[in-house]
Amino acid sequence: MTSLDGAVVLVTGANGGLGTHFVHQALERGAAKVYATARRPRDWDGARIVPLSLDVTDASSIDAAAAAAADVTIVINNAGGLNGASVLGDLTELRALFETNFWGPLAVANAFVPALRSSGGTLLNVLSALSWHGMGDGYSATKAALWSATNTQRLMLADKGIDVVSLHLGYTDTPMVASVDAPKNDPADIVRAAYDGLETGDREILADELSKQVKAGLAAPIETLYPQLARS
């Protein structure tokens, strides 16, 4: 179990729709300090909030953040992107998306392993229901890759005393998916579910019904997740 009371939390992508809630709800649960990181940090109204520059695609930026936040006990890999990349055709945009959604979170995790090992801390990777479904095209591919890597992190970091937790969610009302015409979760509810899961010791947090349904479908024939593939 991971207590937020007295914790030192670092949130990547803190300026975004989920990130802002991760910052404020951590404080509500008693966090001693929250490093609110972004490529361009903004001013925050709160003595316990420390704005910090962190670009997950820049190794030197990650190293500097890790040095500045060496007292961290919880790292939330929340930063991510969506650029319409596809696995078919020109792969330029897909490579860029992998830099943000896959290589970036791995680099952040690696940089903060020493701090988390010394504190017996927790790494939370924000994934997606699309970690398990290809309808998101290139975005799905990046999240599926990070899900696989997250499982490996769980195994490799367990003996270092670091808990690795994944958060899966469907469409949520944030600027990143503003153009998507579909029912959306309230981001406050998603973050609340994430922190509830941390505090009860969950290693895989399914934050909404869609995530639960898609995860359950993995055990079924492929046509269950993709009915368009069913042969008549």
Closest CA to 214 of 226, 228, 231, 202: 226
The pLDDT mean for the chain works out to: 94
Q: Dump pLDDT digits (tens) for 90-137.
A: 999 999 999 999 999 999 999 999 999 999 999 999 999 999 999 999
Per-residue pLDDT band at 178 (split at 50, 70, 90): low
**From the CA atom positions of the chain, what is the Rg in Å?**
17
Q: In the chain, which residue ranges form alpha helices assigned H by DSSP?
A: 17-28, 59-68, 92-98, 104-119, 138-157, 187-200, 209-217, 222-225
Q: Could you confirm whether 143 is annotated as catalytic? A: yes
Per-residue model confidence as pLDDT tens digits over 56-77: 999 999 999 999 999 999 999 9
- Tell me: pLDDT of 166 over 90: yes
DSSP 14-75: TTSHHHHHHHHHHHHTT-SEEEEEESS----S-TTEEEEE--TT-HHHHHHHHHHTTT-SEE
How does residue 232 score in pLDDT terms, banded at 50, 70 and 90?
Answer: low
Residue 185 has pLDDT above 80, yes or no: no
Tokens 């969950």 correspond to: 202
Annotated domain spans of the chain: 8-229
Q: Which of 143, 160, 171, 215 is the catalytic position?
A: 143
4-60 pLDDT tens trace: 999 999 999 999 889 999 999 999 999 999 999 999 999 998 899 999 999 999 999
Q: Which candidate in 139, 171, 184, 195 is catalytic?
A: 139
Predicted pLDDT of residue 126:
98
Q: What mean pLDDT comes out for the span 162-188?
A: 82
Question: Hey, what CATH topology would domain 8-229 get?
Answer: Rossmann fold (3.40.50)
| Predicted pLDDT at 173 | 72
Question: Which pLDDT band holds residue 171 (cuts at 50, 70, 90)?
Answer: confident
Output 184 or 225, whichever has higher pLDDT. 225
Q: pTM (2 decimals)?
A: 0.95
